[in-house]
């Protein structure tokens, strides 16, 4: 290569490098000045907000983890790049898009991700430590299987799915004896031909939550609900859930959303205190959510760091519930059993859990998650350890 060509090549490299740097500067600048979004229409979920900084949170690693979630969720052009991937998958005729299988009978089924072994180990240790600190408090755990494990007959042939049931059993065996594992797998499987999971969303329906609550009744020794205690009321018949948005698959028919209400003659008075939002209501349900895309938020307005529920149950029993969003449609069934229900979502909760235990005179604890969330959760152990 002669000297003239070498000079041209160097100039080309310099120009490319400068353009790349300029692109990065503009891209980073755009991310900085663009207003954060609170909700993703495509994924039908709340997006991570900028976490509050403190030295303690930085040292313990929680700030870094939350900030990573924030950067990923607020990434400019995120929806565009997601759309490109989804459309490529559809052109290739794939029966799986963005972690969602196109199943039979209109079911969209979220795949089960490989568990985060480090997080699982830390959660087990944290639960062990927490139960040791509160030896006199009864503790229970319900990790529900998701549709990918129960509705296997709906999946495409040879869909590469990990054995979720085996992981659930393995986790159950590792729990300390002081924590009672509520096994709802058989119950969900026995009712698999009923409407226990939404077709377009990753949550269980109120019916699936109800069947699982019946298992909790047995484990906790609660008074069993008569068959006619609840009446069902449909509040939506066109719910298009998170999986329809996440996958990009065309959905012909929306889901039905039902709520379970006490039968006529049975009262169920509540005061719901959304602590961080400084809001109180006299209902577990949000009619406003039915006007929005995510109809599942009809249950307790979605997820919150801390919710305190007072009921008219006359027993002075207080339940502390650690949860993900599966619990939102489950909580209405607990109202008749506890005079207070303290709801903590570890993904957003930063306060001292021991102080909360003492302030609220907690005498029972329930961990309620779905398997997909729990086996990759990194937020529970710091909360239990008060880190």
Residue-wise pLDDT tens digits, 214-225: 999 999 999 888
pLDDT greater than 60 at residue 62: no
CB 176 within 8 A of CB 135: no
Q: For 295-323, what is the mean pLDDT? A: 96
Given this model, what pLDDT does residue 101 score?
94
Average pLDDT over the chain, rounded to whole?
86
Given this model, what pLDDT does residue 63 score?
59
Q: For 232-243, what is the mean pLDDT? A: 95
Given this model, what pLDDT does residue 94 score?
67
pLDDT in tens, 256-302: 999 999 876 566 789 999 999 999 999 999 999 999 999 999 999 99
Lowest mean pLDDT among 31-35, 180-184, 298-302, 380-384: 31-35
> 372 pLDDT band (50/70/90 cuts)?
very high
- Residue 38 β-bridge partners: none
DSSP result, 39-105:
EETTTTEEPPPPPPP-HHHHHHTHHHHHHHHHHHHT-TTHHHHHHHHHHHHHHTT-SEETTEEE-GG
Q: For 200-227, what is the mean pLDDT? A: 94
Nearest one of 145, 238, 169 to 199, comparing CA atoms: 238
Domain boundaries, the chain: 1-33, 88-384
Q: For 340-354, what is the mean pLDDT? A: 96
Given this model, what pLDDT does residue 49 score?
62
Lowest mean pLDDT among 82-91, 148-157, 183-192: 82-91
Q: Apex CA 333: angle with CA 330 and CA 339, to 5°?
A: 115
Q: Apex CA 49: angle with CA 294 and CA 111, to 5°?
A: 50
Is 223 exposed, middle or buried (CB count within 10 Å of its CB: 0-12, 13-18, 19+)?
exposed
Cβ atoms within 10 Å, residue 290: 16
Selected residue with higher pLDDT from 126 and 24: 126
pLDDT greater than 70 at residue 81: no
pLDDT in tens, 6-36: 666 677 667 766 776 775 566 556 556 666 6
For residues 323 and 338, give the distance between their C-alpha atoms in angstroms, rounded to a whole number. Answer: 17
pTM, rounded to two decimals? 0.80
pLDDT greater than 70 at residue 85: no
Given this model, what pLDDT does residue 314 score?
87
CB 216 within 8 A of CB 222: yes
For residues 40 and 25, give the distance between their C-alpha atoms in angstroms, rounded to a whole number. Answer: 25
Percent of residues, the chain, with pLDDT higher than 70: 76
Q: For 71-85, what is the mean pLDDT? A: 58
Given this model, what pLDDT does residue 128 score?
96
pLDDT greater than 70 at residue 226: yes
């Amino acid at each position: 290569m002669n000297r003239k060509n070498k000079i041209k090549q160097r100039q080309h490299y310099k120009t490319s490098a400068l353009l790349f740097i300029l692109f990065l500067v503009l891209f980073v600048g755009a991310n900085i000045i663009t207003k954060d979004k609170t909700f993703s229409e495509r994924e039908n979920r709340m997006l991570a907000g900028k976490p509050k900084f403190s030295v303690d949170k930085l040292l313990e690693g929680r700030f870094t983890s939350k900030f990573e979630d924030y950067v990923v969720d607020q990434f400019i052009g995120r929806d565009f790049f997601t759309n490109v991937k989804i459309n490529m998958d559809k052109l290739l005729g794939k029966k799986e898009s963005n972690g969602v299988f196109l199943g039979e009978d209109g079911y969209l089924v979220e795949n089960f991700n490989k568990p985060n072994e480090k997080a699982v180990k830390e959660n087990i240790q944290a639960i062990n430590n927490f139960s040791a600190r509160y030896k006199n408090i009864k503790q229970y755990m319900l990790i529900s299987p998701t549709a990918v494990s129960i509705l296997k007959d709906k999946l495409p042939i040879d869909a590469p799915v990990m054995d979720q049931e085996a992981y659930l059993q393995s986790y159950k065996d590792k729990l300390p004896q002081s924590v009672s594992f509520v096994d709802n797998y058989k119950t969900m499987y026995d009712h698999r031909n009923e409407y226990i999971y939404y077709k377009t969303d990753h949550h269980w329906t109120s019916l699936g939550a109800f069947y699982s609550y019946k298992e909790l009744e047995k484990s906790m020794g609660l008074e069993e609900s008569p068959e006619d205690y609840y009446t069902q009321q449909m509040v939506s018949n066109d719910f298009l859930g998170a999986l329809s948005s996440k996958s990009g698959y065309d959905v012909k028919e929306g889901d039905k959303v039902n709520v379970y209400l006490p039968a006529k003659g049975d009262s169920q008075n509540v005061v719901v205190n959304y602590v961080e939002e400084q809001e109180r209501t006299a209902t577990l349900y949000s009619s406003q959510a039915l006007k929005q895309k995510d109809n599942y938020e009809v249950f307790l307005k979605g997820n919150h760091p801390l919710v305190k529920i007072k009921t008219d149950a006359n027993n002075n029993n207080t339940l502390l519930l650690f949860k993900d969003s599966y619990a939102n449609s489950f909580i209405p069934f607990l109202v008749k059993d506890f005079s207070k229900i303290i709801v903590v979502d570890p993904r957003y909760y930063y306060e001292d859990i021991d102080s909360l235990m003492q302030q609220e005179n907690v005498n029972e604890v329930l961990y309620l998650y779905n398997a997909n969330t729990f086996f990759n959760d990194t937020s529970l152990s710091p909360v239990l350890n008060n880190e």
